[in-house]
Amino acid sequence: MATPLKLKRQNSTARVKENKLIVSRLPVAAVLVDTPVSHLEGIYDYLVPVEFDEIAIAGTKVIVPFGNSKAEGLVVARKNQSSEAKNLKVIAEVTSPKAMITADVMKLVESVRNRFGGSYWAVMKSAIPPRVVKEEKTIEAAVSKKQFDYSSSSLIALMGRADYGILLGKQRIRWALSLPIGIDPSVFLAELVKVRAVNSQVLIIVPDEKDVSQLQRQLSDYFEDHMLIMGSHLPKAQRYRHFLQATYHSPQVIVTTRSGCFLHLSDNATVIILSDLDNSHYEQHSPGWNTRDVSLLRAVTSSVIFVSASHSLEVARLVELGWLEKKNYRSKCNIKFSSNDSGRSYIPTIKSAIKSGNVLVNVSEKGYANLFLCARCRNTASCSCGGKLQILGANSIPVCYICHTQKKDWRCNYCGDVKPYVISKGIDRNAEEIGRTIPKTSILISSGSKQIQSLPKGRHIVLATAGSEPDGQYSGIVLLDGEKIFNRPSLRAEELARLTWFASLCRSTDNSEVFLSLPNSHPVVQSMLRFDSQSAAISELRNRELAKLPPFYRIAVVSGEGTEISKFAGNLKASGKYEVTGPIDVEKGQKKIFIRVSLLNGQELVDLLDDVTKVQGVKGKNIFKIRFDPYDL
């Protein structure tokens, strides 16, 4: 574990002011103080004035004198006396409703801190939204409890009565559940929540606001005031109000993005995590936790269900270990697959499928022609500054992606030819080509900041980048750029590509047509034909284990001043305990290293890096920036 919080003391050379009468029963509060530097973080004793007796209890935030200033603190206990000091200082102010931070939340925050290192308060500030005092008046406005009784014939038919009975029951479950092919994902998820909510409070954590909106449309009419929406997308006052309602009233269903994963839950609640591989589940600020690990840390008291079209390798590993139970349900759908073997085009798939419904074309990039070559000699079109040229739209002038210089009369630097050959098509170029081949058909583009939330009426060909697909189901699915997305130079390239393709497949209707831009022999194509994303992850897991990479190893990225990082890296390598890569130059005078350690020894590395940063703080040195288990490398 990380270094435990220790009791420290804040002495006062002056007597307690006469107007601050101290309570006679449990007059001492143990307060976890948010100090400016991590090496001073700890629990300090303070006296409780009479005016705060009833409210300054465990879980209440306070303001306390610290050194020559004041600091925020959290009361963790009340006691009769302090063995550490005399002339204790007095709590100056109470800054939250009493017991706002419950015992289970405090324990969860400490567990996350122990896993990822850093400051307790850094994690706490992610868990607790900023205060809005006027919203605290709403605490008393509790909604009366309601007993829900729901039966889903569609889930019974899909899951079978045995698994449905487990879902409907009160026992604790740990599932890795794949979204079924041919069933609208938001409808399936809503049915899952309704059934589980019969006997359990449900917290469902989704990647972004788009997913929140889809679930809200599916669930709000049924749960009404017994459902709560949380997330950083809400206005500040509403977010704090909903946090208080979640803490004090325990609504039956809470739909939240990443920031709500620390919310207080009732006993035997169920946590559902949607698409844990999505990078929105990863906190960007130090110490960098993610919702998957937070949910697993609270799994000792809650049920946990990971729901995804294709699970992360971390979840796949837990399935292999038997810690999570794999659930993969097959709906009665008859999908016709075709691939690009023998140079087959995807256009016939679109022409056939558009006759009966909408068609989704999934592409890898936005833009028009993101990279082009000379049509004659195949040399790259580049600018004098070294940047590659792009064509941003039909009949547009080539422009450099670095210096933005326009090349009005572009001519190949090598052979002088003026005809471009596009090798990296964007979504706009794909739409243009499809429009020429299939005229008089509605073509919609959903990408970047211009996303379509749901399908309009009629039949359309929809081109979308990953994560921008409109909500709905499609009679045709075309998955382009397979070689490109499965071979990107990143650690999670195959995982993300697999998620994108399986998520698109989940939007297919019965008797739909699907085109895959990879040959039949590709492992992912084979797994899609079997409707089983887990099978494609098994070989990748074996490769990761041999390469000493996550999820079999934990990784810390440590950056700082070049000389200090180089010295630290040398000491680590000499110890022989860790796999160290680097130092690698980052920017002026700054370097970073990657430290790999087995899961068994992960906590030892967390403790070591905690100690290093505390020593740096004491000595007044620049403190290393540390991030454990980043989303990608």
Tens-place pLDDT, residues 149-166: 999 999 999 999 999 999
Contact of 63 with 108, CB cutoff 8 Å: no
Residues of the chain with pLDDT > 70, as a percent, come to 94
Instruction: Say whether both 434 and 305 belong to one domain.
Output: no
100, 129, 153 - which closes a domain: 100
Instruction: Say whether both 171 and 190 belong to one domain.
Output: yes
Residue at 27 is within a domain: yes
Residues 497, 500: Cα–Cα separation, whole Å = 5
Instruction: Say whether both 324 and 345 belong to one domain.
Output: no
Strand partners, 561: 590
CA distances from 208 to 211, 255, 581, 599 (A): 6, 11, 34, 30
The least confident of 160-164, 326-330, 498-502, 613-617 is 613-617
Nearest to 274 by CA among 252, 307, 312: 307
Contact of 109 with 123, CB cutoff 8 Å: yes
Residues 334, 509: Cα–Cα separation, whole Å = 9
Q: Exposed e or buried b for every residue in 534-572, given b needs 16+ CB within 10 A?
A: bbbbeeebeebeeeebbbbbbbbbbbbebeebeebbeeb
∠ CA 591-597-601, rounded to 5°: 135
Give the up-direction half-sphere exposure of residue 274: CA atoms within 13 A in the CB hemisphere. Answer: 26
pLDDT per residue as tens digits for the range 568-608: 999 999 988 899 999 999 888 899 999 999 999 999 999 99
Nearest to 90 by CA among 182, 170, 10: 10
The order of strands in the sheet holding 553-561 is 579-587, 590-598, 553-561, 625-628
pLDDT over 50 at 547, yes or no: yes
End-to-end CA, the chain: 25
45, 73, 100 - which closes a domain: 100
Residue at 514 is within a domain: yes
pLDDT per residue as tens digits for the range 428-444: 888 888 999 999 999 99
How many other CB atoms are there within 10 angstroms of residue 349's CB atom?
Answer: 23
pLDDT per residue as tens digits for the range 327-375: 999 887 889 999 988 678 999 999 999 999 999 999 988 877 666 677 7
pLDDT band at 270 (very low <50, low <70, confident <90, very high): very high
| Mean pLDDT for the stretch of residues 2-22 | 56
Instruction: Say whether both 613 and 489 belong to one domain.
Output: no
Confidence (pLDDT) at 10: 55
Instruction: Say whether both 314 and 235 belong to one domain.
Output: yes
> How many residues comprise the chain?
633
DSSP 3-state of 306:
strand
Residues 420, 411: Cα–Cα separation, whole Å = 9
Instruction: Say whether both 323 and 340 belong to one domain.
Output: no
The least confident of 102-106, 203-207, 239-243, 427-431 is 427-431
Instruction: Say whether both 242 and 363 belong to one domain.
Output: no
Instruction: Say whether both 288 and 372 belong to one domain.
Output: no
Instruction: Say whether both 586 and 521 belong to one domain.
Output: no
Residues 144, 268: Cα–Cα separation, whole Å = 20
In CATH, what number is assigned to the domain containing residue 21? 3.40.1440
Residues 112, 306: Cα–Cα separation, whole Å = 19
- Residue 488, both tokens: 């990107």
Number of domains in the chain: 4
Residues 96, 176: Cα–Cα separation, whole Å = 38
Contact of 307 with 301, CB cutoff 8 Å: no
Give the up-direction half-sphere exposure of residue 44: CA atoms within 13 A in the CB hemisphere. Answer: 27
Residue at 90 is within a domain: yes
- DSSP output for 329-391: PPPS---EEEE-GGG--SHHHHHHHTTTS-EEEE-S--SSEEEEEETTT--B-B-TTSPBEEB
Mean pLDDT of the chain: 89
- Residue 624, both tokens: 């290393």
pLDDT over 90 at 507, yes or no: yes
Q: What is the CA radius of gyration of the chain?
A: 28
Residues 350, 345: Cα–Cα separation, whole Å = 10
Residues 127, 108: Cα–Cα separation, whole Å = 10
Higher pLDDT, 369 or 210: 210
DSSP 3-state of 84:
coil
In CATH, what number is assigned to the domain containing residue 559? 3.30.70
Confidence (pLDDT) at 16: 46
| Mean pLDDT for the stretch of residues 201-215 | 94
pLDDT over 80 at 384, yes or no: no
Residue at 111 is within a domain: no
How do 461-464 and 359-362 pair as beta strands? parallel
Confidence (pLDDT) at 600: 92
Confidence (pLDDT) at 1: 46
- Residue 363, both tokens: 């592409």
Residue at 239 is within a domain: yes
Q: Which domain holds residue 581?
A: 553-628
Q: What is the 3-state secondary structure (H, E, C) of 30-61?
A: EEEECCCCHHHCEEEEEECEHHHCCCCCCCCE
Phi-psi region of 467 (alpha: psi -120 to 50; beta: other; left: phi over 0): left
Strand partners, 514: 337, 477
Instruction: Say whether both 374 and 413 belong to one domain.
Output: yes
pLDDT over 50 at 70, yes or no: yes
CA distances from 306 to 28, 295, 559 (A): 43, 10, 33
Residues 180, 336: Cα–Cα separation, whole Å = 16
Residue at 538 is within a domain: no
pLDDT over 90 at 483, yes or no: no
| Mean pLDDT for the stretch of residues 80-91 | 84
Contact of 116 with 219, CB cutoff 8 Å: no
Contact of 380 with 388, CB cutoff 8 Å: yes
Confidence (pLDDT) at 424: 66
Nearest to 389 by CA among 417, 376, 408, 414: 408
Cβ-proximal residues to 546 (8 Å cutoff; 6+ apart), any chain = none
Instruction: Say whether both 250 and 377 belong to one domain.
Output: no
Confidence (pLDDT) at 58: 96
Residue at 124 is within a domain: no
pLDDT band at 37 (very low <50, low <70, confident <90, very high): low
Confidence (pLDDT) at 570: 94
In CATH, what number is assigned to the domain containing residue 181? 3.40.50.300
Query: Which one-letter DSSP state was computed for residue 139?
Result: G
pLDDT band at 12 (very low <50, low <70, confident <90, very high): low
- Residue 264, both tokens: 């207080």
Count of helices and strands (H, E) across the chain: 17, 27
pLDDT band at 13 (very low <50, low <70, confident <90, very high): very low
Residues of the chain with pLDDT > 90, as a percent, come to 64
pLDDT per residue as tens digits for the range 398-425: 888 777 788 888 888 788 888 877 666 7
Instruction: Say whether both 511 and 439 belong to one domain.
Output: yes
pLDDT over 50 at 626, yes or no: yes
Confidence (pLDDT) at 19: 57
Q: What is the 3-state secondary structure (H, E, C) of 154-202?
A: HHHHHHCHHHHHHHHCCCCCEEEEECCCCCCHHHHHHHHHHHHCCCCCE
Residue at 244 is within a domain: yes
pLDDT over 90 at 20, yes or no: no
Give the up-direction half-sphere exposure of residue 550: CA atoms within 13 A in the CB hemisphere. Answer: 20
Confidence (pLDDT) at 535: 84
Confidence (pLDDT) at 287: 79
